[in-house]
Amino acid sequence: MAAIKVVISGATGKMGLETVAAVSRESDLELVGGSCRQDRGPTLTTPYSTVVPLTTDLDSLLEQTRPAVLVDFTNAAVAMDAAAKAAARSINIVMGASGFSEDNLKQLDAMANDNGVGIIVAPNFALGAIVLKKLAEQAAPYFDYVDIIESHHEAKIDSPSGFALALARSLGEIKQFTRNQPEKENLANTRGGEHNGISVHSIRMPGKSAHHEVIFGAAGQTVSLRHDTLGRDCYMPGVVRCIRDVVTLQGLVIGLENVLGL
Catalytic residue positions? 152, 156
Query: If DSSP codes are grouped into helix, strand and coil, which group holds residue 182?
Result: coil
Q: Are 76 and 97 contacting, i.e. CB atoms less than 8 angstroms apart?
A: yes
Helices 102-115 and 76-87: angle between axes, nearest 10 degrees:
10
Query: If DSSP codes are grouped into helix, strand and coil, which group holds residue 185?
Result: coil
Q: Which helix (H) or strand (E) holds 172?
A: helix 162-174
What distance in Å separates the CA atoms of residue 124 and residue 51, rounded to the nearest whole number? 29
209, burial (CB in 10 Å: exposed 0-12, middle 13-18, buried 19+): middle
DSSP string covering 23-83? HHH-TTEEEEEEE-SS---SEEE-TTS-EEEEES-HHHHHHHH--SEEEE-SBHHHHHHHH
Q: Are 70 and 108 contacting, i.e. CB atoms less than 8 angstroms apart?
A: no
Residue 42: CB atoms within 10 A of its CB come to 9
What distance in Å separates the CA atoms of residue 108 and residue 249, rounded to the nearest whole number? 14
